[in-house]
Amino acid sequence: MLQARLYAAAHAMQQRDARALLAEHPALLQGRPGDLVLDVGCGPGCVSAGLLRPAAAGRLVAVDSCPRMVEHARRTYGHQDIVFEQFDITEELTPEKRARLLPGAADGFHKVFSFYCLHWVQEQRQALRNIMLLLRPGGKALLVFLANCPVFTMYEVMSSKSLWRPYTQDFLRFVSPYQYNPQPAATLGKMLRDVGFKVTHCECRPCSFEYSSTQQLTDSLMAVNPFLNRIPEELKHSFISDCISEAMKLMSAKPTGGYESSFHTDDVTP
């Protein structure tokens, strides 16, 4: 997910769902003096700065594995109350890395949030274990990510085409680990408990999002397309057109000229 500026301008769905989930858990946004908050997979920083800052009355640390996203977030939302750091949640959590994220002798974050990030992570158990290790005893977490989605099906379709196969043959690296799982919530819930979480709520819920136009659909899909930078410049237009054509087949056309995408999210409150 390297198109930081495009993603920042075209992630209405992610902001909508983050806002809705936070509204369901208002207590998590009530920051107390000294609260430390972690945002895992902050992307370009919009949700961190716009929605999560009230949850941290002490310090908000927002991390992402993509340096371009972190650079964009620092440049756009730099503030004394928010620290943006490059960090991969699947990294080995050494004492040095833990100290880099946590100030002083803090024994962990009071709250951890993650919105639309963890479906990019194949090493689910390691990511969840690290989140557990970064939480202080009695800390709270709110995680939401895609269980299955037409976009991932589109990646699979593109990988089956001879023209695009050389650039997309590793498509499974970029597909949610739960895409083909008939019981994603049960699988995730067990994994959370295995790494030490007390799970308050774990649900796979149906969702939908309507793209108002073909252009909005194009911008949203290309902002997160992991293959775009691999495509030779002379083939990019054809690749984008083919991606959008296949995506439209997987969505419902609306009378207004837009397209509705139906998908499922895993919503977790450990």
Instruction: Please state the domain extents for the chain.
Output: 4-149+177-209+263-269
Query: What pairs with residue 267 in β-bridges?
Result: 144, 203
**Residues whose CB is less than 8 angstroms from the CB of residue 254 and which lie 6 or more positions away in sequence, other chains included:** 210, 260
Q: What is the pLDDT of residue 1?
A: 45
Q: What is the pLDDT of residue 5?
A: 66
Reduce the DSSP state of residue 171 to 3 states and report it: helix
Strands (E), the chain: 33-40, 57-64, 82-86, 109-115, 135-148, 201-211, 252-253, 259-269
Name the helix (H) or strand (E) containing 247.
helix 236-249
CA nearest 114: which of 87, 136, 145, 135?
A: 145
> Could you count the other beta carbons within 10 Å of the beta carbon of residue 42?
30
Q: What is the pLDDT of residue 32?
A: 87
CA angle in degrees (0–180, nearest 5) for 40-44-49: 75
- Residue 260 CA to residue 145 CA, distance in Å, equals 18
Q: What residue ranges of the chain have pLDDT lower than 70?
A: 1-6, 8-10, 105
**Cα 14 off chain centre by:** 8
pTM for the whole structure:
0.93
Condensed to tens digits (0 to 9), the pLDDT of residues 187-232 reads: 999 999 999 999 999 999 999 999 999 999 999 999 999 999 999 9
CATH of 4-149+177-209+263-269, one of 3.40.47.10, 3.40.50.150, 3.30.360.10, 1.10.150.20: 3.40.50.150
Q: What is the pLDDT of residue 79?
A: 73
Q: What is the pLDDT of residue 57?
A: 82
Condensed to tens digits (0 to 9), the pLDDT of residues 100-117 reads: 999 876 899 999 999 999
Q: What is the pLDDT of residue 78?
A: 80
Reduce the DSSP state of residue 254 to 3 states and report it: coil
DSSP structural state of residue 183: -
